[in-house]
């Protein structure tokens, strides 16, 4: 297999392996994996948003799971592959049983609702569709069965579901959720198959390996507690010319009247739940960067169980380490922080982080100002110091939507638009996989959007 071919399989392998390790719904167990090449062997470095608390006696069950999975794939022969895949599938479903149960609960709620509401008038039109939907309902009590069923789903049935989820159709949102959850439930078997395929095609990744966790930086205390800045004060730091500051303050006053942003800001600043943490992919990025570790095949790729959030994406993009840009769902979390630098004397690393954060701040500032203009509606104010706004290709990254489970406003930006940016192409991972691969549930506990203005 050529280097390019190996990379094309190795990247999805890492991402799917990370998915299998992400055993709970929500952000705590979001997992990232990267491969270090040492002279002796390969090290599977992994990190999660939240580390098990060793002091409280919590075992690292992800490490054990990963070691077992990789161990079972060592020296795999093709005639044994099917049996091993079946065992791995059982193990993976058991490991992620809480996540799967959560999905099944949501799916059950939605399927029951549409069956109840639509069967009377739609039943005669498409008997086969309703029969398939009922078959899914009947498989709910067996996690293995429902996951397998979602993986083997009849394509005509899935197409019909997608058509019913098109905006404007009756109960479109419900059908949209059903499609999404089926995509999630299908993922476990899909991931297992890809991991097994990798073991057959690239056995060198499994010959001699070790699994190590990169520990997360501690969470930070609420960063703005005590300062409680007002929108007016923040405006003074966002633009430089006095005219722009006045205009921006006016715009923010308008928005405050419409959306109550000042009280929301006060509430967030005082919230004890505002405890920023480093996301898994940045923990690994920092780990490899700080120690100058060598990647397998010099492929600076970090696989993650979920697409990157807005801040992680921009951190990786601005970082000089040339790490491969991941796909992003563009969600923004207040509970995000940049990796710590432990050696306070390492001026080079400190400067690098400062530069990365400054670069990020530049982009965020432009997008926040654009959103203020957009949400305020037609007004006389134009940010004179930011003429580049008119030329920026705005992603749809500030369209907000409410997460049905957490009741939190999240962003619905599409990662696809990132590909439009020519300068990112070289470093952007080409996924080559279906849209269902992108996990759009952004349910990191406690996550809130940076800007939660609503129409
Ligand atoms: Zn992130």
The per-residue pLDDT for range 395-446, each reduced to its tens digit, is 333 333 333 333 333 333 333 222 222 223 334 443 333 333 334 344 443 3
Q: Which two tokens stand for residue 181?
A: 């959850």
* Least trusted range by pLDDT, from 130-134, 222-226, 309-313, 448-452: 448-452
Residue 128 CA to ligand 1 centre (angstroms): 42
Residue 141 CA to ligand 1 centre (angstroms): 34
DSSP H helical ranges for 208-309: 231-238, 242-259, 261-270, 280-291
Residue 314 CA to ligand 1 centre (angstroms): 9
Band of residue 171 on the pLDDT scale cut at 50, 70, 90: confident
Cβ atoms of residues 140 and 102 within 8 Å:
no
Residues within 5 A (CB) of ion ligand 1: 279, 309, 312
Residue 13 CA to ligand 1 centre (angstroms): 20
Residue 306 CA to ligand 1 centre (angstroms): 9
Residue 83 CA to ligand 1 centre (angstroms): 36
Helices (H), strands (E): how many in the chain? 15, 6
Residue 381 CA to ligand 1 centre (angstroms): 33
Segment 316-325 shows an average pLDDT of 96
Interior angle at CA 332, CA 330 and CA 334, nearest 5: 165
Band of residue 77 on the pLDDT scale cut at 50, 70, 90: very high
Residue 386 CA to ligand 1 centre (angstroms): 27
Is the pTM of the predicted complex or chain greater than 0.75?
Answer: yes
For the chain, the 3-state helix, strand and coil shares in percent, each to the nearest 5, are 55, 5, 40
As a whole number of angstroms, the distance between CA 163 and CA 265 comes to 40
Residue 337 CA to ligand 1 centre (angstroms): 9
pLDDT, residue 139, reads 81
Q: Which two tokens stand for residue 231?
A: 């929108």
Q: Indicate whether 344 pLDDT > 50.
A: yes
Residue 391 to residues 245, 361, 386, 387: CA-CA distances in angstroms? 21, 18, 10, 8
DSSP H helical ranges for 51-126: 61-72, 78-95, 97-122
What percent of the chain is modeled with pLDDT above 70? 80
Segment 51-63 shows an average pLDDT of 80
Residue 107 CA to ligand 1 centre (angstroms): 27
Pick from 154, 150, 164, 156: which is nearest to 104 by CA? 150
Residue 130 CA to ligand 1 centre (angstroms): 39
Residue 68 CA to ligand 1 centre (angstroms): 28
User: Bigger pLDDT: 349 or 72?
Assistant: 72
3 state DSSP class of 191: helix
Residue 53 to residues 50, 59, 338, 445: CA-CA distances in angstroms? 9, 8, 21, 18
Q: Indicate whether 380 pLDDT > 60.
A: no
Residue 30 CA to ligand 1 centre (angstroms): 10
Q: Which residues pair with 400 in a beta bridge?
A: 411
Residue 312 CA to ligand 1 centre (angstroms): 4
- DSSP, res 145: H
Q: Which residues pair with 37 in a beta bridge?
A: 42
> Residue 137, Cβ neighbours under 10 Å: how many?
14
Band of residue 392 on the pLDDT scale cut at 50, 70, 90: very low
Residue 422 CA to ligand 1 centre (angstroms): 23
> Residue 425, Cβ neighbours under 10 Å: how many?
12
């Amino acid at each position: 297999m050529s280097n390019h071919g190996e990379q094309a399989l190795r990247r999805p392998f890492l991402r799917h392996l990370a998915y299998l390790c992400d055993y709970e719904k929500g952000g705590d167990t979001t997992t990232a994996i990267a491969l270090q090449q040492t002279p002796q062997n390969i090290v599977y470095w992994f990190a999660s948003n939240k580390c098990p608390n060793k002091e409280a006696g919590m075992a690292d069950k992800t490490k054990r799971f990963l070691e077992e999975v990789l161990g079972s794939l060592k020296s795999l022969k093709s005639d044994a592959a099917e049996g091993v895949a079946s065992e791995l599938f059982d193990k993976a479903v058991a490991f992620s049983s809480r996540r799967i149960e959560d999905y099944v609960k949501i799916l059950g709620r939605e399927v029951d609702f549409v069956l109840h509401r639509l069967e009377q008038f739609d039943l005669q039109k498409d008997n086969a569709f309703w029969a398939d939907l009922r078959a899914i309902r009947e498989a709910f009590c067996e996690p293995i069965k429902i996951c397998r069923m979602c993986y083997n789903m009849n394509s005509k049935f899935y197409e019909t579901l997608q058509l019913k989820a098109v905006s404007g159709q009756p109960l479109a949102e419900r059908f949209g959720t059903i499609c999404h959850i089926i995509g999630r439930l299908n993922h476990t078997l899909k991931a297992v198959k890809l991991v097994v395929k990798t073991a057959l095609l690239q056995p060198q990744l499994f010959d001699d390996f070790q699994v190590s966790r990169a520990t997360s930086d501690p969470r930070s205390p609420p960063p703005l507690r005590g300062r409680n800045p007002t929108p007016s004060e923040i405006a003074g730091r966002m633009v430089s010319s006095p005219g722009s500051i006045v205009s921006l303050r006016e715009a923010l006053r308008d928005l405050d009247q419409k959306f109550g942003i000042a009280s929301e800001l006060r509430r967030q600043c005082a919230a004890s739940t505002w405890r920023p943490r480093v996301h898994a992919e940045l923990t690994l990025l920092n780990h490899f960067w700080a120690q100058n570790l060598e990647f397998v095949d010099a492929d600076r790729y970090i696989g993650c169980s979920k697409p990157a959030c807005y801040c992680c994406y921009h951190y990786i993009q601005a970082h000089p380490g040339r790490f491969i840009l991941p796909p992003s769902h563009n969600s923004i979390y207040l509970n995000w922080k940049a990796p710590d630098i432990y050696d306070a004397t390492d001026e080079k690393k400190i400067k690098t982080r400062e530069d990365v954060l400054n670069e990020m701040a530049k982009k965020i500032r432009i997008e926040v100002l654009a959103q203020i203009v957009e949400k305020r509606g037609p007004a006389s104010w134009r940010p004179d110091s930011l003429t580049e706004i008119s030329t920026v290709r705005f992603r749809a990254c500030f369209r907000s939507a409410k997460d049905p489970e957490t009741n939190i406003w999240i962003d619905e930006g599409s990662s696809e638009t990132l590909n439009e940016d020519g300068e990112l192409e070289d470093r952007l991972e080409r996924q080559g996989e279906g849209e269902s691969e992108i996990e759009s549930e952004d349910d990191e506990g406690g996550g809130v959007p940076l800007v939660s203005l609503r129409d």
